[in-house]
Chains A and B, each alone.
Chain A
Amino acid sequence: MTKQPKKHFSLAQRQAVWAYTFLLVPLAFFLLVRLYPAFDSLRLSLLDFNSPLKPAPYIGLENFKELLSDQVFLRSLWNTLLYTLLGVPAQLVLGLGIAMLLSNINKAKGFLRAVYFAPYITPIVASAWVWQWLLNKNFGPINAILTSVGIPAQPFLQSPDQALPAAVALVVWQQLGFQVVIFIAGLEGVPRMYYEAAELDGASPWQRFRFMTLPLLNATIVFSVVIATSGFLQLFTQVANLNPQDRGGPLDSTLTVALYIYRAGFESSRYGYAAAVTVVLFVIILLFTILQLTVLRKRVDY
């Protein structure tokens, strides 16, 4: 009588012991290396913290007040928005377009897919160097092509007007393969019979795309937009390496919020102020994610 429940209890207990043993180190990791530092950033953002060796007085929301009138920060915020607005649609349209073409061919499909995917796995630092050289005003091959057809050489990365679109081009080139592969997988999930039926019913290619491909790919599109947006909102490595002598230049025209965090924190040693920028970035990413999940998810239910 007393043995039965005890045995049952000991199995549950054994599972619990194993569970907590398995979880011990990872839980400590997530608490100490992820959650605690995130809250610590919140705390730092309220301090006037400029050196680990000096006292850091509590200054309330002063750092955030200063941000509101910091022209360089506002520029980085505007640039980040611009990167996202230019880059996400470009990545989406090109990714979906190439995926649709690739899924329609029979020959060299794997090879072409590999070519489009290669930049995605290439070290970004190396890619950024090549792009600097490709876009160089005096010696770059792109300007050599332009001048050969009668267009004057463009400054690209040296120009405050052209540098941001040029950086977007690098990111799109580098991320495109990921989008292509995701979309090919999404397209393979659409039963071909749907298309056959629509074709027999006389639907034009545009109608098939608009009323079949797009709705059926909705989940893939949501995923792709969410990934692309979070990438652009945290853009750092590409931009930092396109102009390594003047990160974010010329004239802060390519500066992103993430790069500004680096400059404020690690070039100017204003840790408290940089922490305040990270809090703002976190809130922006959170808002974007909630917005995308509510707006885009709704359209999945057909």
Chain B
Amino acid sequence: MVRTQTAPKQIIQKRRSRDAAWWVYAVLIVGGMVTAFPFLWMFLTSLKTYADVFQPAIFPSNPTLDNYGDVLKNTGFIRWFVNSVGVAVVSTISVLIFDSMVAYTLAKLRFPGKEIIFILILSTIMIPTEMLIIPWYLGSLKLGIANTYFAIALPGMISAFGIFLLRGFFEGIPDELFDAGRLDGLSEFGLYTRIGLPLVTPALSALAIFNFLGNYNAFLWPLIIVQSQEMRTLPIGIALFSGEAGTQWHLIMTASSLAVIPVLIVFAIFQKQIIEGVVLTGTKG
């Protein structure tokens, strides 16, 4: 008995300490360099002067930060950034509140019509955004809300995918915990906020990160509903900036760098949570 229990362990430890062959590292490093090259090129171009941009050299001969001042001063960049972050923050908070409420209700409360409501919500995952944008647009015109923050954020205020994800986590909590809470005199709302929510925080943070990034990067709907320069979100601002900047690649690369840098900083800080979040959404969803 003792032998059979320890033998595999020893092999595993041996295997773990044995590192991969050199070519594995070589392939991964070359692949990583190819993957990272567009970022590197973007940053280096943003440091070049206009005259330098069309030179084949990778590194700027005369590195300058002037382009950054130029973009921040002469375009609506800061406004676009604030718009994007604002819309992303508001819709993420809304998604966290409503998605968790619905998921908790569907997982833990008993009431007539539960199955139908769940199927109804789940079925909306199947509808592609493309099928909704024309009625959304025409409806916004009718209601007079086109080109408002409300219209930009509205479609992302609740996420069926998030409900589906969180419901799985709420279902994993044993009913006994809630029964104990009831005996302690917690209200139904208290059960949700005091027992339910704290136990699904990893799923909530994964949902928050993805929802934020998804809204920060959203393109199709804002492109349609935004009609004025100052209402643009960052992706729309950068996309339309091209027409206004012509072939000023150093400025386009600077604006792109400015859009990418905050995301990379957030990623560097929350790397572990973000990657765990992908795994969580991937394996549960």
Interface residues of A (CB under 8 A from B): 12, 14-16, 18-20, 22-23, 25-27, 29-30, 33-38, 40-41, 44, 52, 98, 101-102, 104-107, 110, 112-119, 121-127, 129-131, 133-134, 139, 141, 144, 173, 176, 178, 181-182, 185, 192-193, 196, 220, 223, 233-234, 236-237, 240-241, 244-245, 257-258, 261-262, 265-266, 271, 274-275, 278-279, 281-282, 285-286, 289
Contact = CB atoms under 8 A, between A and B. Distances in A.
Contacts of A30: 120-121, 124, 158, 160
Nearest to A105: B20
B165 to A, nearest CB: 13
Q: Give the residue among A34, A102, A182, A233 with the most B Cβ atoms within 10 A.
A: A34
Main secondary structure on B side of the interface with A: helix
B131 interface: yes
B273 interface: no
B78 interface: no
A114 B275 CA distance: 9
A131 B256 CA distance: 11
Interface string B101-122: 1101100011110100100110
Interface of B: 8, 11-12, 15-17, 19-20, 24-25, 27-29, 31-32, 35-39, 41-42, 45, 53-54, 56, 58, 98, 101-102, 104-105, 109-112, 114, 117, 120-121, 123-124, 126-139, 141-142, 154-155, 157-158, 160, 163, 188-189, 192, 213, 216-217, 219-220, 223-224, 234-235, 238-239, 242-243, 249, 252-253, 255-257, 259-260, 263-264, 267-268, 271, 274-275, 278-279, 282-283
Contacts of A178: 278
B279 to A, nearest CB: 4
A23 B106 CA distance: 9
B109 A19 contact: yes
A289 B126 contact: yes
Contacts of A41: 131-132, 134-135
B32 A115 contact: yes
A33 to B, nearest CB: 6
B110 A133 contact: no
Contact of B242 (A40, A104, A129, A220): A129
19 contacts: A23-B105, A26-B98, A35-B127, A41-B131, A107-B19, A117-B275, A123-B256, A125-B219, A125-B235, A126-B42, A130-B41, A178-B278, A181-B278, A233-B128, A237-B235, A240-B219, A278-B128, A279-B131, A282-B127
B142 A35 contact: no
B35 A119 contact: yes
Nearest to A116: B35
A123 B112 contact: no
A250 B41 CA distance: 25
Nearest to A173: B35
Contact of A126 (B25, B189, B260): B260
A26 B28 contact: no
B28 A101 contact: yes
Contact of B8 (A12, A115, A193, A257): A193
A123 B217 contact: yes
Given A41-B131, A281-B131, A125 B238 contact: yes
Q: Give the residue among B19, B121, B130, B217 with the most A Cβ atoms within 10 A.
A: B130
Contact of A244 (B134, B137, B242): B242
B218 to A, nearest CB: 9
A115 B35 contact: yes
A145 to B, nearest CB: 10
B108 to A, nearest CB: 9
Q: Give the residue among B142, B213, B239 with the most A Cβ atoms within 10 A.
A: B239
Contact of B124 (A35, A40, A102): A35
Contact of B111 (A20, A36, A44, A181): A20
A38 B160 CA distance: 15
B221 to A, nearest CB: 11
Given A52-B138, A278-B128, 5 more contacts: A34-B132, A123-B263, A131-B38, A234-B130, A285-B128
A-B pairs with the 10 shortest C-beta distances? A37-B135, A126-B256, A19-B111, A16-B111, A40-B135, A18-B188, A278-B131, A34-B124, A185-B279, A125-B235
Nearest to A265: B134
A240 B220 CA distance: 10
B275 to A, nearest CB: 5
